[in-house]
Chain A
Amino acid sequence: MDEILEKGPGDDIREYLIFTVDKIEFGIDIGLVQEIIEYQEASPIPNMLDFCSGIINIRGTIVPVIDMRRKLGFESRVYDDRACIIVITLRSELVGMIVDGVQDVARIAPEQLSDSPAVRSQGEIKPFTSKIANINGNIKQIISIEAVFDVELDGEF
C-alpha cells in the first residue's frame, strides 16, 4: 500500500477511484482495484442471481461480474462503450463490477469524509455507502465493499 500512496502533507489521505452509476459519483478505495477493463458481455451462469452478470475471462482467469446498477438498486440498462468493468481483489480472488463510467482518482483526507447518514437510520442492515466525501461541495459516496459484495474483510474499506 505504501508504494501506491504518495506520502502527501497529511499521511492519512487515501486515494479513491471515482466511478459513476446512474450519474451519481461513487468512490472505492484504490488499494482494492486491480485493473479497469472495457465493458464486455459476460457469460451467464446457472441460477444466476439478479445483480450478477455472469463470468468473464481475464487472461485465463475466470472472474465473476456484478452489475452495479442492479446491485445498488438503479434501473438496469444496455451498457455502451463508455461503461467499464472495475476489477477488484476480494479475499485474493478477482471480482468485476460493471459501472457506467470511471472518472478519476481522488485524494480524500479524513476530514473530508463523514459517516453516511444511512448508517444511523438503518441500524442492523449494512448500507451500500459507508462514507460520504465532500470535496468542495462535490459529493462522492464511498461504497462499502463488505455490504456491496456481501463479504467480510479484515481491515476497513
Chain B
Amino acid sequence: MLDAYIYETQQLLEALENTLLAGENGQKLDADQIGEVFRIMHTIKGASAMMEFEELSILSHKLEDMFTLIREGKDPGAAWPALFDVMFSSVSFFNAEMAKLLDKQTPNGDSLPLRERVEVLIRQIEGEETTPEAPEAPEGAGAEEEAVDAAAEEAEMNTTEAEAEDAQAEPAAPAADSAIYKATVHFEKDCQMENLRAFGIVQVLQKMNVRLSYLPADLSASSAAEDIVNNGFILYIQTSESPAEIKAVLDETLFVKAVTLSPVGEDSEDIPIEMRTQPEAKGQGADVKPAAAPAVETPEVKASAPETPPAPEAEAASNGNGDAAAAQVNNGMTSFETVAKQNFISVNVNKLDSLLNIVGEIVTAQSMVVNNADFGDRPHESFDMAAQQLHSLINELQDIVMSIRMIPMSTLFQKMRRLVRDMSRRFGKQIQLEVIGEDTEVDKNVIDYLSDPLLHIIRNSVDHGVESPERRRELGKPENGRIILEAKMTGSDVVVTVTDDGAGLNKDKILQKAREKGLLTKPESELTDREIYNLIFLPGFSTKEQVTEYSGRGVGMDVVRKNIAYIGGAVSVDSTPGQGTVHTIRIPLTLTIVDGMKFSVGKMNFIVPTVNVLSAIKPSPEDVFKDPEGNEMMMILGKVYPLMRLSRFFNIHDTVTEIADGMIMHLSSDERDFCIFFDHLDGEYQVVVKKLPSYLEKCSSNLQGIGGCAILGDGSINLIVDVNGLAAEC
C-alpha cells in the first residue's frame, strides 16, 4: 500500500516538475498547465490524507487552494516568479519526504515555512495585499496560529494513531443487538488511487464499534483499484451503531460519489463466512482479529474472502462484472486520457536480463529444430514455410527484448535542468542550459551510474565555471552564460559532454595546487595542457577555497572519475582560458546493442561495430608495403594507414597469411584511422554486447582490443572489437 502511494506520488511529482519547468520559461502557466498542477496537488492531498501524512496533505491542500484561485481566473501577475519558487521548493519538500518513506523513516519534515510562503502568495493573488512587503506582521501572527494548529494536528494525529492501534489490537466485540449491513461505495470517476481511499474508509470504520469484511479483500493488490472502479467497494459491516451513522461516515469520505447501505439478515447467504462465524468469535474477543484488522496484514482474510460469497453472490458479482464491462466500454473514450498516462510499468532489471538470455536460447533451439538431421534429404516444403514464419517472429521478439532495457537520457537531463535553474538563482548567475540528444538511448545501468557524476560536473560548471553577469559584461561576453549538455552515440561508446562558456580552468592554479599536494608524478615541463587540466580528477584536489552548498568539498572530481570508471567509462576535461571548459564522459556500450560486421581470423570470430568501419577491401599485394622497421602500411585512395595483422596481435594460429587471400578493413577510432588484416568477412549482425567474464583475465596474457562478446543466433560466441583499444596498440 505504502509502496503504491510513494510510487504514484513520485510519478505525480515528476510530472509536476516537468510542467513547472515548461511553464517557467514563459514566467507563467497556461490554463492547461494550471489545471494539471491543480489536479496533481489535489491527488497528492487526497492520497496523503488517506495515508495520514498530515504535513504533506496540509501543504498540498494549501497549494491546491492557491491553484483554485488561479484557476478561477485570478492572475498572479507579478507574483509568478515567487510562485514558481514556492512550487519548486514544495516539490523538493515532497520528494524529500518520499525519500524518507522509502527509507522506512517517518516523514517528519516541517512544511510550515512553505505554507507561510503560500499564504503570502494567496493573499497577493487575492489582491488583499498589494505590496509584498506589507504582510510581514499578519504573516507572523498567521505563522504562530498555524504553528499552534500544526501542533494540535500533530497531537491529534498521535491520538488517532494510538486509537488505530487500539482498534487493531482489540477489535471491539460488537454488542449483541448488532446488525449486519452491506455497503457499496462508488468513488468519483478518475479520482485515482481508489484502493487507498477504500483503505481510508476501512481505517475510519475500524475506529468505530464494528466488525468489517470487504471486497476486494486485498487492497494492496495491483488489481484492487480497478476492481473498485468496476464493482464498487463492498463492505460488510456488523455494528450496533445506527445505519445513518455509518452512512454519514461513508458519505464524508473524500471523492465518494454514491453509497448504498442495506441491512442483510444474520444468516443470509450473502454474508462472508468470517462474519457468520460470529458466535464463537464473539466469545473469544481478541481472536476476532482476522475480521477486524486490516486485511493487508491478515492472509486468512485475503484467502477466504474472495471465495466466500456463495452462489447468489457470485451470480450478482458476475452480473456486476458484466455491467462493469459494459460501463468500461462506455467509459472507454472518456477514460482514455488517464489510461494513457499509465503507459509505463517498472520491471526488475534482473527479469529483463533473464528474458534476454531466454530469447537467446530460443534462437539457438530454433536453429537446432530447423537444421535437424532427422529430416535427412526428404523435401519438406510446408515445414520450411512454418520455420520461416517462426524465424521472423523470433527475430521480432529479439528486437523488442533488446530495446526494452534501453531508456532515453531525457529523465537524467531533466534533473540537470532543475539543478541549473536552482543553482543559477542561488549564485545570482544567468545561465541557460541547452540540451542536445536527450533521446539517446542507453542501458539502464548507465543512467544510474551517470547521474551523480553529471550532477557534479554541472555543479562545477555553474559554480566555478560561468562568471557572474557583471563580470561577463566586463569581459564583453553575453550576460547569459550557456551550458550545453549533449549526449551522442559514437561507435562503441556513448559520449556525454558538458560544455560551458565560462572562465575556463586556471592552469597555473591547478599546477600550483597539484604541486602543494604532491600530486605531480612527472616533471612540470613535460606536462601538456590537457594533462594539467586532468589533474583535477586526482583524489583530494579542489581549487575552490570556499566550500559552498553545491560544490567544492574537494571530494568531487575524483568521485566523478571513480563512478564513471565503475561502468568502464572514462572522463576527461579540456579548457580554453576565458572561453570555457568541456567535460567529456565516455561510456562503453556494455549490455547494449551494436550493429556490427562479423569477420573471422583462424577459428576466432569477431564483431566490429559498423560505425567504426570506413570500408572493407579485398586488397591486392601492391597496396601493402613495409617501412624500414618492418611495420606494414596500407595505401587507400592515395593515403597511407598503418596495417595491423590481427592474427599476429591476438596470437592466432592457422590463419591466412598472404595479403591477397585475406581481407582488409579500414577502421576509424577517436585517435586515428587504421587498417586491420583478417581472413574472412561474414556479414552484418545486430548483437547484444556482453561483458567479458572477469576470470578471462587469468586465461589470456593480453585482452587489449576486445571490448566484450556477443552470442549469435546459432549460439556461437563472437568477440567484440574495441576499436579504440586496438588503435592504441598500432
Contacts and interface: CB of A to CB of B under 8 A. Distances in A.
A44 B701 contact: no
B693 A46 contact: no
A13 to B, nearest CB: 30
Nearest to B718: A43
Nearest to A59: B361
A95 B651 contact: no
Interface string B693-725: 111101111110110010100011101000000
A46 B700 contact: yes
A54 B392 CA distance: 32
Contact of A60 (B356, B651, B702): B356
Contacts of A57: 711, 715-717
B357 A61 contact: yes
B652 interface: yes
Nearest to B699: A52
A51 to B, nearest CB: 8
A105 interface: no
A55 B698 contact: no
Interface in A31-72: 43-49, 51-52, 55-57, 59-64, 66
B214 to A, nearest CB: 40
Contact of B703 (A47, A51, A60): A47
Contacts of A111: none
Contacts of A63: 693
A94 B692 CA distance: 12
Given A56-B717, A57-B717, A149-B698, A46 B705 contact: yes
A109 interface: no
Interface residues of A, number: 27
Given A90-B695, A93-B693, A93-B694, A62 B709 contact: yes
Given A60-B361, A62-B692, A55 B709 contact: yes
A3 interface: no
A2 interface: no
Contacts of B358: 60
Contacts of B576: none
B700 A47 contact: yes
Given A60-B360, A62-B709, A64-B693, A46 B719 contact: yes
A49 B693 contact: no
Contact of A45 (B357, B694, B696): B696
Contacts of B703: 45-47
B650 interface: yes
Chain A binding surface, main DSSP class: strand
Q: Which of A48, A59, A61, A62 has the most CB of B within 10 A?
A: A62
A60 B354 CA distance: 9
A156 interface: no
Nearest to B603: A44
A49 B701 contact: yes
A75 interface: no
B655 to A, nearest CB: 12
A59 B698 CA distance: 23
B604 A43 contact: yes
A124 interface: no
Interface in B594-651: 602-605, 649-651
Q: Which of A52, A57, A66, A90 has the most CB of B within 10 A?
A: A57
B690 interface: yes
B711 A62 contact: yes
Contacts of A61: 357
Contacts of A94: 693
Given A46-B703, A47-B701, A52-B700, A95 B717 contact: no
Interface in B331-376: 356-358, 360-361
Contacts of B650: 46-47
Contact of A64 (B356, B602, B696, B715): B696
A62 B705 CA distance: 18
B692 A43 contact: no
A80 interface: no
Interface in B555-584: none
A151 B698 CA distance: 9
A64 B717 contact: no
Nearest to B709: A62
B711 A44 contact: no
B213 to A, nearest CB: 40
Contacts of B716: 43, 57
Contacts of B690: 62
B176 to A, nearest CB: 53
B701 A60 contact: no
Given A55-B717, A60-B360, A62-B711, A46 B652 contact: yes
A81 interface: no
A94 B703 CA distance: 19
Q: Which of A48, A59, A60, A90 has the most CB of B within 10 A?
A: A60
Given A52-B700, A64-B693, A64-B699, A43 B357 contact: no
Nearest to A42: B717
A145 to B, nearest CB: 12
Nearest to A48: B700
Given A60-B356, A64-B699, A93-B694, A43 B717 contact: yes
B702 A47 contact: yes
30 contacts: A43-B603, A43-B716, A43-B717, A44-B604, A44-B652, A45-B719, A46-B649, A46-B651, A46-B703, A47-B651, A47-B700, A49-B698, A49-B700, A49-B701, A52-B700, A55-B709, A57-B711, A59-B360, A60-B357, A60-B358, A60-B361, A60-B711, A62-B711, A62-B717, A66-B699, A93-B695, A95-B693, A150-B698, A151-B695, A151-B698
Interface of A: 43-49, 51-52, 55-57, 59-64, 66, 90-91, 93-95, 149-151
Interface of B: 356-358, 360-361, 602-605, 649-652, 690, 692-696, 698-703, 705-706, 709, 711, 715-717, 719
Given A43-B716, A48-B700, A91-B695, 17 more contacts: A43-B717, A44-B652, A45-B703, A46-B702, A55-B696, A57-B711, A57-B716, A59-B357, A60-B356, A60-B361, A61-B357, A62-B690, A64-B698, A93-B693, A93-B694, A149-B698, A151-B698
